[in-house]
Amino acid sequence: MLTATRVWLPLAIAAAGVVAIVIGGDNPSFVSDNADSVLSAAGVALLLVALIVWMINWMFRMSVQSNRDRDEEEAARRYFDEHGRWPGE
C-alpha cells in the first residue's frame, strides 16, 4: 500500500494527465470554448496534481527520516551519559 501511494498514485495521475493532453490535441488556445483545449488544460492540471502528490510524499519521508535521526542522536547521548564515550568509539 505504501509503494502504491508513493510511486504508483503519482504516476497514474501523471499518465492520466498526459493522456488528456494528447487527446486534447495541440490547440493551445485558452480563449476558445473548444472542449479539446479544456481537456488539454485538465491534463496540465493533472500533471501538477501528480507533482504535488509526489512532493507531499517526499516531504513526509523527509519528516520521518528526521525523526529517526533525532531518535538515534538521543540514544547516542544516553549511551554517552551511561558510559562516558560515544557509541562506536
The pLDDT of residue 10: 93
Q: HSE on the CB side for 66, CA within 13 Å?
A: 6
Residue 76's CB is within 10 A of a number of other CB atoms, namely 13
Question: pTM value?
Answer: 0.67
- pLDDT tens, per residue, the chain with 89 residues: 878 888 899 999 999 999 998 888 765 555 555 666 788 889 999 999 999 999 999 998 888 888 888 888 899 999 999 988 888 77
The pLDDT of residue 40: 85
